[in-house]
């Protein structure tokens, strides 16, 4: 580890809030993706040479908050990651969660649905992967694919065995509403829902694909189908915009995270997770009389043990 890896710096609450206000979306009103620059790095607020220390600070803070979340066992946290290929979902998840106790986290990668999954409603598999109380659930892709890839490639919809009478003009609008309702319900049940769109530019995606082709160590990351999806770039921009607008809410915000600079993407995500956990009360539950008596009895028993 280099010297900088060991340094730690924390954002102040004010700095964190200012940073997140740039990227948090809580209403669809007036939302336009083109208002968000994938190359943004928050101007003077954050200097690149501080990035490693700030990430360490954020990871440390998150680790402490996760212990409280786990010990208190009331709230749960759901982190949804969506992005175009090569935007850095995997690396972001790896870095942001690097300090967290693995027992408290579950990552689910949502791929093309299985035969069994296709025999159920489109939220079924998401429901089965939700975090239990005290835990963090990470969705690497998610139920949102249902209004993104499935919308860009409507032939995927035909595989879902829906009654034809239910496939009408309003299907996407209804799906978006179903997702918004689902997340509202989760929030009411004590799940903090945060959604991240890692927003990469088309140029930066090209240069990351080129690196995957040129660098032998990165070859495994390249898949020819990524190039096919790239041809639908404009369609994806349009369905992302509509999806984010229809499902952004104060209880389930989207963060449109600039993704052309990996160091910056990670800082924003860790800040958003810390911020969400800081907003809820994670004080430990007070012990009941019976629990206190049990602790006292255990103490007496240990002290009374023969050597």
Binding residues for ligand ATP (CB under 6 A): 85, 90, 110-113, 140-141, 145-146, 149-150, 156, 223
Stretch that binds Mg ion, among 2-10, 14-22, 83-91, 228-236 (CB under 5 A): 83-91
SS3 40: coil
- How far CA 133 is from CA of 67, 118, 127, 202, 285, in Å, comes to 13, 28, 14, 39, 14
For the bound state, the minimum distance from the C-beta of residue 109 to ligand ATP, rounded and expressed in Å, comes to 6
The DSSP-derived string for 90-119 is: HHHHHHHTTTS-GGGEEEEE--SPPHHHHT
150 touches, from ligand ATP, Mg ion, none (C-beta below 5 to 8 Å by class): ligand ATP
Closer to Mg ion by CB, 85 or 146: give it. 85
Residues 6 or more apart whose Cβ sits within 8 Å of residue 38: 199, 200, 201, 204, 258, 259, 260
Say how far apart CA 53 and CA 44 lie, in whole Å: 16
CB-side exposure of 80: number of CA atoms within 13 Å? 24
We find the least distance from the C-beta atom of residue 89 to Mg ion, in angstroms, to be: 9
**What does 112 bind: Mg ion, ligand ATP, none (CB cut-off 5 to 8 Å by kind)?**
ligand ATP
| Residue with Cβ nearer Mg ion (205 or 243) | 205
Binds 40: which of ligand ATP, Mg ion, none (CB < 5-8 Å by kind)? none
**All residues at 6 or more sequence positions from 65 whose CB lies less than 8 Å from its CB, including other chains:** 274, 277, 278, 282
Q: Closer CB to Mg ion, residue 183 or residue 204?
A: 204
User: Judged by CB, which is closer to ligand ATP: 107, or 280?
Assistant: 107
Q: How many residues bind Mg ion (CB under 5 A)?
A: 1
Six token digits for residue 137: 């659930």
Q: Which of residues 127-186 bind Mg ion (CB under 5 A)?
A: none
Q: Which residues bind Mg ion (CB under 5 A)?
A: 85
């Amino acid at each position: 580890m280099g010297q900088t890896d060991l340094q730690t710096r924390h954002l102040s609450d004010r700095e964190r809030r200012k940073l997140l206000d740039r990227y948090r979306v809580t209403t669809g009103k007036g939302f336009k993706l083109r208002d968000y620059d994938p190359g943004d790095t928050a101007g003077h607020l954050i200097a690149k040479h501080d990035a490693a220390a700030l990430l360490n600070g954020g990871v440390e803070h998150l680790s402490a908050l996760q212990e409280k979340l786990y010990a208190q066992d009331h709230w749960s946290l759901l982190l949804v990651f969506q992005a175009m290929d090569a935007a850095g979902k995997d690396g972001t998840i790896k870095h942001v969660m690097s300090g967290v106790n693995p027992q408290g986290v579950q990552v689910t990668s949502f791929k093309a649905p299985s035969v069994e999954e296709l025999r159920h409603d489109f939220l079924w598999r998401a429901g089965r992967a939700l975090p239990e109380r005290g835990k963090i659930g990470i969705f690497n892709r998610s139920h949102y694919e249902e209004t993104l890839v499935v919308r860009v490639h409507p032939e995927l919809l035909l595989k879902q065995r829906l009654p034809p009478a239910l496939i009408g003009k309003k299907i996407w609008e209804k799906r978006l509403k179903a997702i918004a309702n689902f997340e509202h319900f989760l929030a009411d049940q004590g799940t903090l829902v945060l959604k991240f769109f890692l927003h990469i530019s088309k140029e930066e995606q090209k240069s990351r694909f080129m690196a995957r082709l040129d660098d032998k160590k990165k070859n495994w990351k390249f898949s020819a189908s990524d190039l096919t999806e790239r041809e639908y770039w404009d369609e994806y921009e349009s369905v992302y915009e509509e999806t984010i607008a229809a499902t952004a809410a104060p209880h389930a915000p989207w963060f449109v995270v600039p993704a052309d600079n990996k160091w910056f993407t990670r800082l924003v995500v860790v800040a958003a997770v810390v911020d969400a956990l800081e907003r809820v009360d994670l004080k430990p539950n007070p012990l009941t009389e019976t629990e206190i008596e049990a602790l006292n009895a255990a103490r007496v028993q240990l002290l009374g043990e023969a050597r």
